[in-house]
Structure 1
């Protein structure tokens, strides 16, 4: 099984790229994590629907075959790290590759939200996209660490 973060956005600050690269490197060989940057649609005079439709097409090009689709959404499940670890364990038992979608400035096309196998929420706060990307990488690494009984996560 592979984990892929599909994130609409480009030209992230160095600290985002370096932080994500560190967590990607730490992931176990049997559960690789990678990030695919999806170019956002140029805004111009396009409607929100036109922007989302164009980005939807770009996201689809990067989706693995028959993935477990996980959408990051403000109305998604608000999980603790331990609950994310249990969710990750269930994904691993399912065996399909997992595609985690982070939308652009206008969000994600409604079709992705409707077809999602899971919807997750990272925070009640509004996060910049780079921060959301880095936080997701860190939490996936932390969830793997919990499953491996690694002391990276401490309860108490």
Structure 2
């Protein structure tokens, strides 16, 4: 099983890529995490809703068929790390890849949220979309560490 992070945006600061990679390289082979960037739509005078429709089409075009989709949105469910670990353990038994979809500066189109298997919030706060990549990678690593009994996660 793989965790695929599809994030709208490009040209992130170096520290974001470094932070994401720090946790990606720690992941065990059976739960690898990969980042795939989705090109954001230019702010060219169209409304945010119009731009989000285009980004949603780009996201749908790259999602692997049959994968579990988790949309990241501050209005989604708020899980504990233990709850995330419990879900991941079930997903590992299922064997399907899990795609986490992170919106860009304007968020995600409602059709992406509506069609997702789950909608997850890392926080009720609105977080910079680049920072979400790092926090998500860390939480995936933490949850897998908890499953494996690794001392990284201490309760």
Match of 1:65 in 2: 65
Match of 1:141 in 2: 141
Report if aligned partners of 1:9, 1:38 keep a CA contact under 8 Å in 2: yes
Mapped to 1, the partners of 2:147 and 2:116 lie a distance apart of: 24
Q: How far has the Cα of 1:49 moved from its partner?
A: 2.5
TM-score (norm 2): 0.96
Match of 1:97 in 2: 97
Alignment size in residue pairs: 155
Q: How far has the Cα of 1:48 moved from its partner?
A: 2.2
Mapped to 2, the partners of 1:107 and 1:130 lie a distance apart of: 12
Q: How far has the Cα of 1:53 moved from its partner?
A: 1.4
Unaligned runs of 5+ in 1: none
Report if aligned partners of 1:9, 1:37 keep a CA contact under 8 Å in 2: yes
SS at match of 2:150: coil
Moved more, 30-39 or 90-99: 90-99
Residue 5 in structure 1 maps to residue 5 in structure 2: yes
Give structure 1 regions of 4+ aligned residues with deviation exceeding 6 angstroms: none
Match of 1:130 in 2: 130
Q: How far has the Cα of 1:11 moved from its partner?
A: 0.9
Q: How far has the Cα of 1:9 moved from its partner?
A: 0.9
Residue by residue over 1:13-72, the C-alpha shift from the partner in whole angstroms, topping out at 9 and shown as x without a partner, is 111101111111111111111001111100111122320111112112221111101011
Match of 1:77 in 2: 77
Residue 120 in structure 1 maps to residue 124 in structure 2: no
RMSD: 1.0
Mapped to 2, the partners of 1:138 and 1:26 lie a distance apart of: 10
Mapped to 2, the partners of 1:22 and 1:152 lie a distance apart of: 14
Report if aligned partners of 2:8, 2:104 keep a CA contact under 8 Å in 1: yes
> After superposition, where does 1:15-94 map in structure 2 within 5 Å?
15-94=15-94
Mapped to 1, the partners of 2:64 and 2:12 lie a distance apart of: 24
Unaligned runs of 5+ in 2: none
